[in-house]
Every structure is written in structure tokens, then in C-alpha cells.
Amino acid sequence: MSVWLRVIRIKFLLASVIAVSLGLSMSYWSTGRLDVIHSVITMAGVISLHASVDLLNDYWDYKRGIDTMTKRTKFSGGTGVLPEGLLKPSHVYWAGVAFLILGSLAGLYFIVIYGWIIAVILGFAILSIYFYSTKIVDSGLGEIFVGIKGTMIVLGTYFIQTQQVTQSSVMGGIIVGTLSSLVLFITSFPDFDADKQKGRKTLVIMIGKKRASDVFWAFPLVSYGIIVIGVALQLFPTFCLMALATIPLMIKSGFGLRKNFDDADRFVFVMKSVLLFSRITGSLFVLGFLVGMLANNN
């Protein structure tokens, strides 16, 4: 069981948990209602789809020889499960397909109830998950895919609860999508040589490590900027500004990246810092809606 949890990358599933939680908290803040059964099905379906992309990514990276060339860390270089022979590649592949089917079944349930908007979101999810580790990453679209994925999770969750797509749900989705994309961006630095040799085109490969270390600042600025704009337009509760409390951690991460982007050993601490920044900022943003809801009730 511990090996399977390792290959699923259980700690990275938190990104999807935050995205679903945001969609639920935004819908509850807007309507004062929450369908608990649909919430559970949504969370289970999204987690299954996330597990699928991680399993299939491990499988394809092993088959292409990428994971045998990288130096594995807690945050990059794959899980190491297949290079160490702890599981059979075919078992990991079919487990990925099984999770994809499970997540798709949850989506099909909502398609029957709510129609074509969920069908579009599910269709995007199925195709992008299956082809992520080959066609998408090889085309240099990995960071874009992850950003869109996070946005779609929030939109889908919000729509299931409210049957609406609103400006606030789109903006909220972009925030968590950008934060998730930042994690992928930062964890691709250590895999630069292996990815490049095997034909991958991450953003870091396309623009180089030094320039990429400057591009880092764009991700938090987008997320912070949308939060401030959303609060100013009263699309988000004022309490969402508590997400700005991670500014010191963001600055620490950015300067750490600039200083250590070519130092493999020290870069582990940079990845940890960025991961914490992403997850804490997303969680505080979700918390802002919950606190706002409580304040309205009082």
C-alpha cells in the first residue's frame, strides 16, 4: 500500500483538493446551499483523475527512460517506484487507466444531470490526462495544461452546485490553476537535462534556467493580482485578502530560485518553499470564503 501511495504521489493530490474545496466554498458563499452527496462525488472523481495523470506520467517517464536519468528528490525526478522495480510497469499503467475510468464515471453521472458543460470539461480532462505525458508535455504545453486543469476543476465544481458559470468562478479557477502551474514549473528545473535529452519541452527548457528564474514572479503576481481585483469588484469577500499573507514566503522562494537554480542540492529547499507557498496561498484563499460566509451569517 505504501508503494502505491508513493506512485500516486499522495502529497500532490492536495492541489486538486484545494481546487474542489474552492469551488464548493465559492458556491456556498454565493448561494448558502451545498449538496453534500454531489460534493463527495465531485471530490472523489477529481482525486481519481489526478491520481490517473500521476500514474500514467510515472509509466511514460519510465518507458521513455527519463526517470532513469534524473536525480530523484522529494519533489522531482519521478517517484522512483518503477526504476527500483517495486511495481510492474503494466500494473502502474492499468491502474492509471482504472482511475481515469473511475473519474470519468463520476463525470458521466453529472453529464446526465447537468448536460453539455460538464461534458466539455470531462472531455478535456480525459484527453489531456491520457496524452499529458507524451503529446502535451512534448509540445511545451505542460504548464498551460495544469493551469487550465485547475481552472476547470473550480468551474466544474461550482457549476455542479449552482448550474452557473460566473465571473467569480472563472477568476477563482485561474488563481488556483496558476498556483498549481507554478509547482510544475519549479519542479521541472532539476529535470532539465533528462527532459531535454528525451524530447520534452518544458517552459524552463524553452527559455533557459536563468530567464525562467525571472519568469517565476509572474505566477504569484497573477494570483495575487486577481485576488485583489476580485475583492475590489466585490466578487470575492474581503477576507480573501488573507491569502496575501504568503508574500514573504513568495519573496523568499523567488530569491532562493534566482540564487540556486543551478545548485541541485540547495534547490530541494527552493522546491519545498514554492510548494508551501502554492498550497498555503490556495488554502487561505478558500478560507477567505468560509470566513466571509460566517461573517455574513452573523
Q: What is the pLDDT of residues 11-23, one digit of tens each?
A: 788 999 999 999 9
User: What are 211-239's pLDDT values in tens digits?
Assistant: 999 999 999 999 999 999 999 999 999 99
38 touches 160 (CB < 8 A): yes
**Where is average pLDDT lowest: 33-42, 97-106, 107-116, 188-197?**
188-197
Mean pLDDT across the chain, nearest whole number? 90
Residues 87-92: what's their mean pLDDT? 92
Residue 298 pLDDT level (bands cut at 50, 70, 90): low
Residue 186 pLDDT level (bands cut at 50, 70, 90): very high
- The domain locations on the chain are 2-297
The pLDDT score that the predictor gives to residue 19 is 95
CB atoms within 10 A of CB 164: 13
The pLDDT score that the predictor gives to residue 7 is 83
Architecture of the CATH domain 2-297:
Orthogonal Bundle (1.10)
Residues 201-214: what's their mean pLDDT? 89
Task: Give residue 232's Cα distance to chain centre.
Answer: 26
The pLDDT score that the predictor gives to residue 77 is 63
pLDDT > 80? residue 134: no
Residues 118-144: what's their mean pLDDT? 84
Nearest residue to 137 (alpha-carbon basis) of 56, 79, 211: 56
pLDDT > 90? residue 137: no
The pLDDT score that the predictor gives to residue 111 is 94
Residue 246 pLDDT level (bands cut at 50, 70, 90): very high
pLDDT > 70? residue 46: yes
Q: What percent of the chain has pLDDT over 70?
A: 97
- Distance CA(48)–CA(56), nearest Å, equals 12
pLDDT > 80? residue 259: yes
For residue 191 the three cell numbers come to: 529535470
For residues 66 and 108, the model is more confident at: 108
The pLDDT score that the predictor gives to residue 254 is 94
Residues 134-160: what's their mean pLDDT? 88
- Distance CA(143)–CA(123), nearest Å, equals 19
pLDDT > 80? residue 67: no
- Which range of 13-17, 279-283, 289-293 scores highest in mean pLDDT? It is 279-283
